[in-house]
Structure 1
C-alpha cells in the first residue's frame, strides 16, 4: 500500500501569531474551501453538457468524473512532498496556479472540440484541488488553539458547502443556459453544427474561473500568513516515534472499516450528483431541460449545507453513531423511492438524499480516527486516500447504460447500507487510546 497521504506526513509545528489576526486568516482560508467546492460541483452541470456535445453514453460521461477523482490518488503523495519542500503558503499558491492552468486548458478543449483534451484539463484542475486539500486542511488545524481545531475545520467546511450550493446556478446560467442542449426539450437531437456551437459555451465560465484563481493566488502570495512547517522527523519526540512504531493501525476496527466507508460513500455522493440532471430530465421523472435541472441540483447541494448545520446541532445530544445510522436509513429509503417511483415523487426523493448525505463524510472521518492516539495522522491519511472512491462512479455509468439510469441508483442504495453497518458495528473503537 502507498504511504499515507495524510493531511501532512509529519506533525505540524505552529508558530505564534504576531501581526496577523485569526479572523482575517480564517476568512482567507475559507475562500479557498469555497473555491474548490465551487469548482468541483461545476462538474455536475458540465457532465450533461459534455454528454450532449460529444454524444457520450453514461459510462463515458461518468468516466470524466472518475478521472477527476483518480487525481486525488495520483497527486496526493507528490503534494505532501511538495509541502515538505516549500512549505504551506507556497503550496497553496501553487495549487491555485495549477487549477488556473487546467481551467485555461478548457478553452482549447472547447475550440477543437476534444473529449481527450477535456479529460486532461479536468485532471489538471483536480490535481490542483488535491494540493489545496492536502495543504489547507492541516493549516486550518494549526492556525490557532488545538482545543478549537475541530470548530475551525467545521467552519471552513461550511464555506465549502456554500460553494457547492451556488456552483449549479453558475453552471446553469453560463454553460447550460447558453447552449442548445441545455435549453432544449427532452428528446431533442442536436445537429453537428449545434454540437460545435455548444462546445464553445464552456470558454467564458472557465476563463472567469481562471481569472479568479489567479487573483486569489496573488492575494495569498502577498498576504503575511504565519509560516507553518512540517516538523522534521529528527525533531520529533523519540518517545512518540517509538510508540507509533510498536502499534498497528489495523488493530483499530473503527479505522479498518472506516476507510472503505469513506470509499463507498464517495461512490454514492458523486453518482447522485453527476447523474442528477440527466435523471430529472427523463420524460417520466421531471421532463426538464438541463438548465432547469441545474436549478433543482442547487436544492440537492443546499440540502447538504443545511444538513451539516442540523447534524452538528443533533450531535450535541445524540451520539455520532446514532446520527449516522439515522442518516443511512433515510438515504437508503429515499434512494429506493427514486429508483422505483416516477414523476415528481422520484425527483424530490433524489433531491432529499442530499440532506441525509450531508453528515456522512465528516462523521465517518471523525469516527474513523477516534482513539488512534499517536497513529491519528496516519489513520487520517488513509481516510483521505479513500476519497479516490469517487472514481468508481464509472460503475454506475455502466449500470445506467446496461440496466437504465433509474435502476442504476440501486448501487447508491447498497452504498447506504454499508454506512449503516459502519454506524451500528464498524465504528466501535477497538484498542483505543485514552482521550488526552
Structure 2
C-alpha cells in the first residue's frame, strides 16, 4: 500500500477547508443573537451569554485540547474536533424542540469545544507547513478561507433562521400564554434544520480527513514540549505573553462588533433594515475580512508584519470613531468596513507570538487559543454598557481593544533574547515526510 503523505500544498488545502467550516459556524452566532433575543425576550447582556458560552469554551478547553494534540497528533485531533463539533450542532435540535435557552447554551459549549480542538491543532499546523519566513502569509491565506465561511454562512443560512416575523412586546402581551409558548416554539425551531445539516456536514468532513494522508508534525513540536518545557517557561517570552493579551482583545473586538451588527444596522438611525436583510449585510463585514486576508497574504510578503498590524488597527479605530459619531448610511458602512481591516490581525498576532519558539510551539498555541476567551468577555461588557447607554456609544469598548493592538504591533511584539532554536525551520525538522 502506498503510504506517501500529501504534499505541503495539498495538506494546506485540506486544512484550509477546516478553517472555512469553523469560520462559518462561529459567524452563525451573530445570527443566533438577535433571533434568540427575540424568542426569549432578553436584554443585550443576557443575550451575549451566547458568545460568553461559546468563547468561554476556548478558555476552558484549550489546555485539554493541547494535551490531546500532544498525545494523538494533529490529524487525529482534527478528526476528533470535527466529531465533537458535530455533536454540539446536533444538540440544537432538542434545544429548539423544548425550547430551552440553557440547552442552547450547552449545545454551543459542546460545538465550541470541538472548534477549540480544531484551532489548537490547525493554527500551528498551518504555520509549520513550509518555510518559517512565510508563516505569516500562509496562516493569513488559510484565515482568508475561514473568512469565506464567515461570509457565506450568514448570507445563506442567516435568512433561514431569521425568516419568521418577530413580534414586538405589545403584540406578545396581547397573546394568551399558550399562544406565546406556541410562538416561541415556532421561532426557536427555525434553527433545527440548518444545524442538523451542519452536523451531518461536519461528520462527512471528519470522514474525509480520516482518508487523507496529511503530513504529521507531532514529533518536532509536541514530543519535545512534553519532555522539557512548562507553560511558565513559555510565558517568559514577552512577545508570546503580550500576544495572548492581543488575541484576547482582538477576538473580543471582532466578535463584539459582529454580535451587535444586526441589531445596530436594523436600528432606525443606523440603517433601518429588517433583521433578515441585516443578516445579509453581516456577510459584508465578514466578507471584508476575507478580501483583506487575500490582500494581506501578499502584503505580508513585502511589509513588516508588526507595522502592518499596527496600521490596520489604527484604521479600524478611526472607523469605529466614525461609527460612534455619525448616523444613517455613514454609521452603517463605517462599522461594516472594519471587517476589511480586522483581516490580518488574528493570523499576524498568532504567528508573531509563536515566532522562534521551536519546541515551545504547542504550549504557546494552547495559550493563544485560550486568549480567544476575549470573545466571551468583551461582547458581554459591551452588552452591559449597551443596556444602559445604547448600542452606538457602547462601541467605545472595542475601540479600547484596537488601541492595545496598536501598542502590541509597535512595542509589545518585539522579540526578546534567549529564544529557543526553532525545531521546525525545515519541513524535515518538523517531522514532515513525503
Normalising by structure 2, we get a TM-score of 0.86
CA deviations over 1:90-126 (Å, ceiling 9, x no partner): 3222211111111111011111100000000010000
Aligned-residue offset at 1:376: 4.7
Q: 2:390 aligned with 1:404, yes or no?
A: yes
- Offset at 1:29? 1.8
Shift of the 326–26 alpha-carbon distance from structure 1 to 2, 3 Å rule, reads closer
Residues 1:128 and 2:114 are matched in the alignment = yes
In the other structure, the counterpart of 2:329 is: 344
More displaced stretch, 25-34 vs 144-153: 144-153
Q: Name which of 249, 256, 276 aligns with 1:291.
A: 276
Aligned to 2:404, which of 400, 418, 431? 418
Correspondent of 1:264 among 249, 259, 278:
249
Preserved contact between residue 28 and residue 154 of structure 2 (Cα < 8 Å):
yes
In structure 1, what is the Cα distance between the partners aligned to 2:235 and 2:213? 41
- Measure the CA separation in 2 of the matches of 1:188 and 1:266: 37
Distance 2:214 2:361 in 1: 26
Deviation at 1:372, TM superposition (A): 4.5
Within 5 Å, give how 1:82-161 maps onto structure 2: 82-143=68-129, 151-161=137-147
- Structure 2 stretches of 5 or more lacking a match? 426-434
What residue is the counterpart of 1:64 in the other structure?
50
Partner of 1:333: 318
Other-structure match for 1:39: 25
Structure 2 equivalent of residue 315 of structure 1: 300
CA distance in 2, matches of 1:81, 1:253: 23
> Aligned to 1:324, which of 290, 309, 313?
309
Is the Cα–Cα contact under 8 Å of residues 321 and 427 in structure 1 kept in the other structure? Answer: yes
Output the aligned Cα RMSD.
2.9
CA contact (8 A) 1:373 1:432 kept: no
Task: State the alpha-carbon separation in 2 of the partners of residues 410 and 317 from structure 1.
Answer: 33
* Aligned-residue offset at 1:288: 0.8
Supply the distance in 1 between the matched residues of 2:340 and 2:235 (Cα, whole angstroms).
32
Q: CA deviation digits over 1:375-430, x for unaligned, max 9?
A: 45544442222111111021111111122111110111111111122222222333
SS at match of 1:113: coil
Count of matched residue positions in the alignment of Structure 1 and Structure 2: 412
2: CA distance between counterparts of 1:349 and 1:48? 21
1:203 to 187, 192, 195: 192
- Runs of 5+ consecutive residues of structure 1 not aligned to the other structure: 1-15
Q: Distance in 2 between matches of 1:256 and 1:232?
A: 19
> Which has the larger displacement, 192-201 or 367-376?
367-376
Q: CA deviation at 1:227?
A: 5.0
Q: Normalising to structure 1: TM-score of the pair? A: 0.85
Q: Distance in 1 between matches of 2:192 and 2:361?
A: 43
CA distance in 1, matches of 2:132, 2:400: 38
